Structure formats: structure tokens, C-alpha cells
Structure 1
Amino acid sequence: MWVLLLLLALAGFGGLSLLVQRDSIREFDLSIIHTVQGWENDYFTRIAKTLSFIGSSSVTIPLALSIAVVLAIVLKHRREIILFVGTLLGSWLLNATLKSLYQRARPDIHRIVTEAGFSFPSGHSMSAFSLYGILTYLLWRHLPSRGWRIALILFSLCMVLGIGLSRIYLGVHYPSDVIGGYWVSACWVTLCIRLFMIWQKRTAARRNGSSSDA
């Protein structure tokens, strides 16, 4: 079932990317951009710049390294490090590959900040979804209560949505860039978690088999 859902999700992204390539989604993008940038004031601009900075590699790389250290030394979860690092590295490589494939220019309507490189899909959105998505999965079972788990989900949602929205507000991404980034990362994180679960089951089965033979 999960394979079918993954294929449907990938097909959905393929449809979105086709609309982007044909410039058939421009009216949707522009309407959202005009609405979001209509909120512009000094307060929202500071918030957007802060969220955008949090989603940049200057923050995500040190944060990811710190989390990896905690997984290895504090929690002693060395297998989880493979999942965590693999998910983030794969997301970065996937984003670089897709950007070079589609080569979509960034919006030139009203930029509050300047950003180089291609636009589709949004790297900040992919990075945020992958980082906070896989972090939520890893921390979920270690939290002591339902309240903490709800707080974790809300925090991750706010970070992911806030970072994506900040990129639209600052004028460096189309909404379809952000949606595309979320879409690809959702597929990628789901695939990584599923493969990790299969690996864990097979490892446990081999251990049980070895114990039975002994």
C-alpha cells in the first residue's frame, strides 16, 4: 500500500512540475504572492528574515551536526544517525538535482532580499521539511506524554510552514516552489523511514535467528 501511495505522490509532483514548466500555474502563484506580500511591514519583514535565516544552511548544518552528536553520544542511537544523516543528505542532493533539471528563474516581482540560483523546488522548504520531519519521527517515541508529542508536531509544523511562507514573503520563491519542495520532501522522508523500518525488522529477524541457532 505504501508503495502505491508513494507512486501517487510522485505522480502528483510530476503534474505540478509539468504545470511549472508550461507556466500554467502563474496566475495561482501571482495571486498568492500578492496576498502574502500585501502583509508587508517592518515587523513581518524581521520575522520573515529570521525564519529564512533559520532555514538556511548556516543554521541547518550546525543544527543537524548537533542532533547527530546527541543521537550518538547521549541517546546511543547509532542506527538512527544513518537515517537522520541519510535523509538530510539525500534531500540536499535531490534538491540540487531537481533545480538543475527544471532551471526555473526566481520571481522578479518584488524582492525584499536577493537570492541567487534556481527556484524550483525551494531548497529552504525541502530542507525544513526533511529536518523537522525526520526529527519528529526520531523524537516521537522518546517523549513522555501525549502533550509533549502534540507540542513537537505543532513546533515542527510552525517551523516548516513558517520557513516556506517566509520565502514567498521575501520574494525569492513562487508558492509552487514551496509546495513542490514540501511534496518532494514528504515523499523522500516517507521512503527513508519506510526503508529504515524494513532494515530494523530484518536486523531483528537475523538476531532472533542467530539466538535460536545458539
Structure 2
Amino acid sequence: MKSSRSMPITAITGLICAVAFTVIAVAVQSGQISQFDRTLIDAVQGREAPGLTGVMEFFTSIGNGTSVALITLIAMTFLYGVLGHRRELLLLCCTMLGSAILNSLLKICFIRERPTFHRLIEVTGYSFPSGHSMVAFCLYGTLAYLLWRHLPGRKRRFILILLSLMFIVTIGLSRIYLGVHYPSDVLGAYFAGGFWLSCSIWLYKRFIVQ
């Protein structure tokens, strides 16, 4: 009964995210979102300061492939070794692997060059959608979903959601601050990640959880 009730929620969420991503993608391709991007870039990078740069470099570092793999491995060890949940490992692994593959495919489809206004670090590859932001959304979104059921009390669950949102938002902001992504890259990544996470949870509930 619980799974059947949650299925429409994940389906609706996935549909909303897919539509939102499509709108952003069309705006990116047509160039209609350029002013929005530049305005937000100026606002974010206008707060540049040595201390803040260090913070942003830290958050962007925990969103790279090596850090994400390490965090995922630690989470898998906790889920299996401490909580004893094998099926939850499958959801985490499939969500993370799928998000990386989907992001790579989307980057190839859109072939958007990175901004060149004011870069504080150098990176390679295409810009849309942001890989750091999309993977962070899927990682911390999945962990929040899995840990939610094991945390008693509203206060602990509130802290869990707050921490997850903090990491997701700050990693996305760090990419804009450091000059390696447009704001629309980050927003597009969030919606693409939301779509994939919704699909993954729906499939998990439909075929894995009985």
C-alpha cells in the first residue's frame, strides 16, 4: 500500500523535472537565457573574496568524481555494514551510475561551451548540464531518501533534509562562483537530476521493494 501511494508522487515529480529541464534546454539553445545567466554570474562573482573562494573550492572538490566515489563507498558500507540493507545499495549504485551516464550524454547532445567571463579554476569538457550539480543532487537526494526512514523524530529528519539541500545548493553555487558554469547549467542539472532520481526511486519501489 505504501509503495502504490508513493508511485504517483515520483511520477509527477519526474514529469515536472523533465518539463522544467526541457524549458531550460530550449532557452539555452536559443540564447534566450543569456541575460539571466550573466545577471546571476555578476551577482555571485561580485561577492568574490579570498576566504569565500577557499570555501567554494572545497565544496566543488567534494563534487568531483573521486570525492563522489568515496562518499558513495562510505554510504554503501554504512547501509550494508551498519543497517544491513542490501537492496538500498542497488538503488544508490544505479542512481549514481545512471546520473553520470545521463549527464555525459546530455553534454554531448548540447555541446555548450563553458563561460569565459572570470574563471578562478580551469576545467575541461562541455558546460550543460553541470556534472557536479547533477551528481550532487542524485547523491545527497538518494542518501536523504534512504536515511529518512531510519531517523526517528521530525527534528532529525529536518536536519537531514537541511544538510542535503545545503550540499546540493552550495556545490551548484561553487561552480558559478568559480566561473566554470552558467547558472542555467546548474538549474538544468538539478532538474535532470530530479528526473533521474524520481525514475530511480519509482523503479526501486516498483520492482525491488515488495
- TM-score interval, normalised by the smaller of the two chains: over 0.9
Please list, as runs of the form range in 1=range in 2, the aligned pairs for 1:65-214 lying within 5 A after superposition: 65-200=73-208, 204=210
Mark the CA change 1:129 to 1:14 in structure 2 (over 3 Å): closer, same or farther: same
- CA–CA separation in structure 2 for the residues paired with 1:200 and 1:48: 38
Which structure is richer in relative contact order (CA contacts within 8 A, separation 6 or more)?
Answer: 2
Tell me how far 1:35 sits from its aligned partner. Answer: 0.5
- CA–CA separation in structure 2 for the residues paired with 1:85 and 1:29: 33
Tell me how far 1:23 sits from its aligned partner. Answer: 1.2
Deviating more after overlay: 122-131 vs 71-80: 71-80
1:87-108 CA-to-partner distances (Å, cap 9, x unmatched) read: 0000000000000110100000
- CA–CA separation in structure 2 for the residues paired with 1:64 and 1:40: 31
Please list every run of 5 or more consecutive structure 1 residues that lacks an aligned counterpart in the other structure: 205-214
Contact 2:119 2:178 in 1 (8 A): yes
Larger radius of gyration: 1
- Say if 2:54 is the partner of 1:39: no
- CA–CA separation in structure 2 for the residues paired with 1:152 and 1:172: 29
2:5 is matched with none
TM-score, length of structure 1 as denominator length = 0.91
1:22-61 CA-to-partner distances (Å, cap 9, x unmatched) read: 1110000000000000000101101110110011112111
TM-score, length of structure 2 as denominator length = 0.92
Once superposed, what is the RMSD of the aligned Cα atoms?
Answer: 1.2
1:57 is matched with 65
What is the total number of aligned residue pairs between the two structures? 202
Please list every run of 5 or more consecutive structure 2 residues that lacks an aligned counterpart in the other structure: 1-7
Identical-residue share of aligned pairs (%): 44
What is the identity, as a one-letter code, of the residue corresponding to 1:19? A
- CA–CA separation in structure 2 for the residues paired with 1:193 and 1:57: 22
Tell me how far 1:4 sits from its aligned partner. Answer: 4.8
Which 4+ stretches in 1 moved above 4 angstroms?
none
